[in-house]
Amino acid sequence: MLTSKQHELLMFINERLGRTGVSPSFDEMREALDLKSKSGVHRLISALEERQFIRRLPNRARALEVLKLPEVKNTAVPTPKNAIPVAANDTIEIPLHGRIAAGTPIEALQGTESFSVPAALLGPGEHYALEVSGDSMVEEGILDGDFALIRKVDTAREGEIVVALVDNEEATLKTFRREGQMIRLDPANRNYKAQRYEPRRVQIQGKLAGLIRRY
């Protein structure tokens, strides 16, 4: 037997999955149920999970699966005709940290937005997204307005495309090279020159794991 709020949340999640194939965010659930905080949503989710109405897909943000509805006890929920297949729900929500220059370094931005990414595009490890600003990496197929998917690492190998934080305040997307005692950050556009820095001035904050382009 579900409480009215548990029932309301279950119906909301099921409707959203059937319509879009993606679970609603905790903020969307909070607003839909007119709750004051997300902690109330967490309690409702846990209660539904304990009663085996839903389950959380492991290692996936915003990934919930409805197992049954109270009106159809112990029966799997039918898939609507126009619903996206279950695999479409296999998305990961990663932080979106603003715009990063693919030309001259810009101030490193730390945004609070999130970005939904198909899980198949990402490998192991922690990731975040950056919106590319500039054209200095066009010969690598990285265009202004693209979203770079970055795997968090603090070291890089020769030839890898990395997010480099310069002087602890400016971030840039470039190919990592070593040149003697210096670090060289190479553009992929013949109109731009390589940038050279002493190692102490450069901090590797991640390497390119994928790219998303919106049309």
Q: Catalytic residue positions?
A: 136, 174
Whether the CB-CB separation of 105 and 172 falls below 8 Å is answered with: yes
What's at 72, amino acid-wise? V
* Partners of 109 in beta bridges: none
Radius of gyration of the chain (CA): 22
Q: Could you tell me how many residues make up the chain?
A: 215
Q: How many CB atoms lie within 10 A of CB 23?
A: 24
Residues 6+ apart with CB under 8 A from 124: none
